[in-house]
A and B are shown apart, each in its own frame.
Chain A
Amino acid sequence: MSEQTLAQALNGALATALETDERVVLLGEDIGRTGGVFRITDGLRAKYGEDRVFDTPVAESGIVGAAFGMAIAGMRPVAELQFLGFSYPAYDQIINHVARIRNRSNHRFTAPMVIRVPYGGGIGAAEHHSESTEAIYAHIPGLKVVVPSTPSDARGLLLAAIEDPDPVLFLEPIRLYRAVKEEVSELYYTTEIGPMRVEREGRDITLISWGAMIKETRAAAGQLEEKGASVEVLDLRTLSPIDQDGIVASAAKTGRVVVVHEAPRTAGLGAEVAAIIQERVLYSLLAPVRRVAGWDTVFPLKRSEAHYLPSPDRIVRAAEETLEA
């Protein structure tokens, strides 16, 4: 065990994967020499060699397409794209090739690969560096989408993603890379892809979130508890396959649900969560399911960031209205 940030836990998980499975290779822009823009692969090329950790040309479609070929040929590639906003040149590869090969070849060929991508806003970054477009990936059948929000989940989920027989898009909340620290085991362990994590148990209302927004959601839960509400907080941590049973169980217990996400509201995953709940436990609900989300805009530049990001206040207000309904 040692105290690690989310970034360190990811670095450790990649080192463990390179150490334990010789099929694992890493590829991405600037990941070798410098350890990547967020230093997640820091030191790995020096330790594991230039034939395990590849700096690539600036070509996202190329990175993902090549990783796909490697995966079919029996390797376990872990690709890094620099920001989610730069993943779209690879979208064709992901939706038309990576996510479909098992289906197209009726299980004959598969793509056991991981695409790691930093995502999310809140650091005043340049255009395209703050995107939260997880929904357009969770919408792709054949692809799994995972988002850790704690260091120990980061390690366990990344190792699980690398082991997984199917392709996994692994989203890393930029804002949390170095903002959270906890004791993380250095042993090989995996965290199952699929089940959500109950961040805190409560009886009166369920707040559901994932990624960096867990931070605001946790803060809102604290404020609500001070005012006397018993709040349950769920960290979905896998967005596809989404944990329907876990969501439904909590909704049935509290009868009141607020979903919080950074992505624009329209057609965001909050809609999916609300749909799952009303399909299965509509009559256990005591209030409509609410969404606190980003507005239906492009993620703004630094000066307007505070206008966009859901704040603990907005979450508290929505929760109070839900509690009063």
Chain B
Amino acid sequence: MWNRPVDKLIAGMLTLISPDGTVRDGLSITLEETRELYADMVEARTYDHKCMAMQRQGRLATYAPFEGQEAAQIGAAAALRPDDWVAATYRDAALMWRAGYPWALLIAGRTGDERGGQAPDGLNVLPPSITVGGHMIHAVGLAWAEALNGSDRVALTSFGDGATSEGDFHEAMNFAAVYTTPTVFLCQNNGFAISYPRDEQTRSESIAMKADAYGMPGVIVDGNDVAAVLTVVGEAVARARSGEGPTLIEAVTYRLGPHTTSDDPARYRDEDETGEWRTRDPLERVRALLERAGAWTPEWHAELEARSADVIEEAVAEAEALPRPTAAEMLSRMYAQPTGPLRAQLDEIGA
């Protein structure tokens, strides 16, 4: 087992909370902060499970689950300031939510409603990118603009291992380094681009090492360790905020579920591998740590689960209560004002 490329990554990555919950040197967050991060991960997992169930019931369109990647997403978002920019993907609901995006809107999007993409006013989170790789350069432009405008906001872009194969990855990394933009590149290496294993996508030993060629730091972090991710992303954010430029972070993690609800992982991966990663579960290690410190009880956990279930149920109700979108709305959000042909088409549908 110990000669796969991923094992080398695991051996070299920064871990602060081991899979068994023991603490390594350098853990600097408080017990209370750890409890909050744990609670956030429980809430995110509740959302994820709920969406999987709703999709099976036909209440959602295709859904891309993030189970197993909660630490990477919650830890990264927790390192941001509420006014920072986020440009993430279809798999990043937990990250977007922790950055301020309401569950109800995330669910609305998944029911197939464009209103789900309308971030609340003042929140600098873009709609999730469905095209692989197209959005990384946006985080360069966002961050560049902030720097030019003299603000100290940063932009974080999250993407998968697969996205680093797109030409757009190269352009984004190069621009960010050339213009020293305050951009944080967070790659969640979850082992696969749909069925295509990370080790076949690139002959590079790591994704982080690609940073070197662009002239920016690259860091490998245990993506299933919320504290390590928070620390590493926190350092990259601080670097960016102080004008030192971009960082590429490779969070080593694993997608425990299918690529999407249309995918059958049995066609391309071994259940043993998934089982092995279940032992590295991002929630379980924090639970073990907290329990050892006397800060976790089954009662508290049950309370968290019940509260999360309520919160998610409410969000579902809110999303499903949105009035059926009309054809006129569809035709009216293409331009600031409907153009001539669209006005004619609005007439045609009787709007």
Q: Is the CB of A126 within 8 A of B334?
A: no
Question: Which of B167, B324, B325 interacts with A61 by CB under 8 Å?
Answer: B167
Give the shortest distance, in Å, between B269 (CB) and chain A (any CB): 9
* B146 is an interface residue with CB less than 8 A from chain A: no
Query: B291-335: contact bitstring with A at CB < 8 Å (1 yes, 0 no)?
Result: 000000000000000000000000000000000111101110010
Q: In the assembled complex, how far is the CB of residue A38 from the closest CB belonging to chain B, in whole angstroms?
A: 10
Q: In chain B, residues 266-300, which have Cβ atoms closer than 8 Å to a Cβ of chain A?
A: 267-268
Bound CA–CA A260/B268 (angstroms): 40
Q: How far, in angstroms, from A298 to B345 measured CA to CA in the complex?
A: 14
Provide the residues of chain A in CB contact with B61, threshold 8 Å: 124-126, 301-302
Q: Does A235 belong to the interface (CB within 8 Å)?
A: no
- 1/0 contact trace for A20-63 toward B, CB 8 Å? 00000000011001110100000000000000000111111110
Query: What's the minimum C-beta distance from A132 to chain B, rounded to whole angstroms?
Result: 16
> Would you give the shortest CB distance from B339 to chain A, in whole angstroms?
8
Measured CA separation A305–B113 after assembly (Å) = 10
Inter-subunit contact A303/B130 (CB<8 Å):
no
Distance of A300 Cα from B163 Cα, bound (Å): 25
Give which listed residue, A33, A60, A300, contacts B267 with CB less than 8 A.
A33
Instruction: Let me know if B167 and A301 touch, CB within 8 A.
Output: no
A7–B163 CA distance with the chains assembled, in angstroms: 28
Residue of A nearest to B339 (CB): A296
Residues of chain B within 8 A of A300, CB atoms compared:
114, 325, 330
CB pair B132 A127 closer than 8 Å? no
Q: Report chain B residues within 8 Å CB of A56.
A: 196
A96 at the interface (CB under 8 A from B): no
CB-CB < 8 A to B193: which residues of A? 29, 57-58
Q: Which residues between 251 and 269 of chain B lie within 8 Å of chain A, taking CB atoms?
A: 262, 264, 267-268
Task: Answer whether residue B341 sits at the interface, using C-beta atoms and an 8 A cutoff.
Answer: yes
Tell me the smallest distance from the CB of B207 to a CB of chain A, in Å.
12
Asked if B242 is at the interface (CB within 8 A of a chain A CB), the reply is no
Assess whether A128 is in contact with B195, with CB atoms less than 8 Å apart: no
Contact B341 A297 (CB under 8 A): no
A308 nearest CB across to chain B (Å): 7
Taking a contact as CB atoms closer than 8 A, the residue among A125, A266, A308 that contacts B62 in the complex is A125
**B168 in the interface (beta carbon within 8 A):** yes
Most buried by B among A57, A85, A86: A57
The size bracket of the interface on A is: 35 or more
Q: Are B345 and A296 interface neighbours, CB within 8 A? A: yes
Partner of A128, one of B109, B130, B163: B130
Query: How many angstroms from the CA of A292 to the CA of B102 in the assembled complex?
Result: 39
Q: Mark A126-147, 1 if CB is under 8 A from B, else 0.
A: 1111000000000000000000
Q: In the complex, A302→B334 CA distance in Å?
A: 17
Contact status B330-A57, CB under 8 Å: no
Contact between chains at A55 and B195 (CB < 8 Å) = yes
Contacts of A189 in B (CB 8 A): none
Q: Which residue of B lies closest to A299 (CB)?
A: B330
Closest-by-CB residue of B relative to A59 is B165
List of B residues within 8 angstroms of A165 by Cβ:
none
Contact string, A103-126, partner B, CB cutoff 8 A, digits 1/0? 000000000000000000000111
* Contact in complex: B112, A305 (CB < 8 Å): yes
Which of A37, A266, A301, A303 is within 8 Å of B324, CB to CB?
Answer: A303
In the complex the two chains form, is B200's CB within 8 Å of A58's CB?
Answer: no
B264 and chain A: residue at smallest CB distance? A34
In-complex Cβ contact of B341 among A62, A86, A128, A296 (8 A) = A296
Say whether, besides A29-B194, A124-B61, A303 and B325 are in contact (CB < 8 Å): yes
Is there contact, CB below 8 Å, between A37 and B262? yes
For the complex, is A2 an interface residue (Cβ under 8 Å from B)? no
B342 at the interface (CB under 8 A from A): yes
Tell me, yes or no, whether B111 is within 8 Å of chain A by CB.
yes
B112 touches A57 (CB 8 A): no
**Which residue of A55, A89, A265 contacts B345 across the interface (Cβ within 8 Å)?**
A265
Which single residue of chain B is at the shortest CB-CB distance from A302? B112
A294 and B114 CA atoms in complex are apart in Å by: 18
Chain A, residue nearest B127 (CB): A127
Q: How far is the CA of A303 from the CA of B325 in the complex (A)?
A: 7
Pairwise interchain contact A89-B195, C-beta atoms closer than 8 A: no
Expressed in whole angstroms, the Cα–Cα distance for A125 and B341 within the complex equals 27
* Contact among B162, B167, B342 with A89 in the assembled complex (CB-CB below 8 Å): B167
Q: Are A57 and B196 in contact (CB under 8 A)?
A: yes
Query: With contacts A124-B112, A297-B331, A303-B113 known, is A55 near B326, CB below 8 A?
Result: no
Which residue of A has the minimal Cβ distance to B162? Answer: A58
**In the complex, which residues of chain B have a beta carbon less than 8 angstroms from the beta carbon of A37?**
194, 262
Name the A residues within 8 Å of B30 (CB-CB): none
* Bound complex: CA A62 to CA B162 (Å): 13
A residues 42-96 near B (Cβ < 8 Å) are 55-62, 85-86, 89
Does A307 sit within 8 A of B, measured CB to CB? yes
B111 x A303 contact (CB < 8 A): yes
Shortest Cβ-Cβ A-B pairs, 7 listed: A302-B112, A57-B165, A307-B327, A301-B112, A58-B162, A34-B195, A127-B130
CB<8 Å pairs between A and B, sample of 30: A29-B194, A30-B195, A33-B195, A33-B196, A34-B194, A34-B267, A55-B195, A57-B201, A58-B165, A58-B166, A58-B201, A86-B132, A89-B133, A89-B167, A124-B112, A126-B90, A126-B130, A128-B130, A265-B341, A295-B327, A295-B345, A295-B349, A296-B341, A298-B334, A300-B330, A302-B113, A303-B111, A304-B114, A304-B330, A305-B112
Known: A57-B193, A124-B112, A301-B113. 20 other contacts (CB 8 A): A29-B193, A33-B196, A34-B194, A55-B196, A57-B162, A58-B163, A59-B166, A60-B166, A86-B131, A128-B131, A295-B331, A296-B331, A296-B334, A297-B331, A297-B334, A303-B111, A304-B325, A305-B112, A308-B327, A308-B330
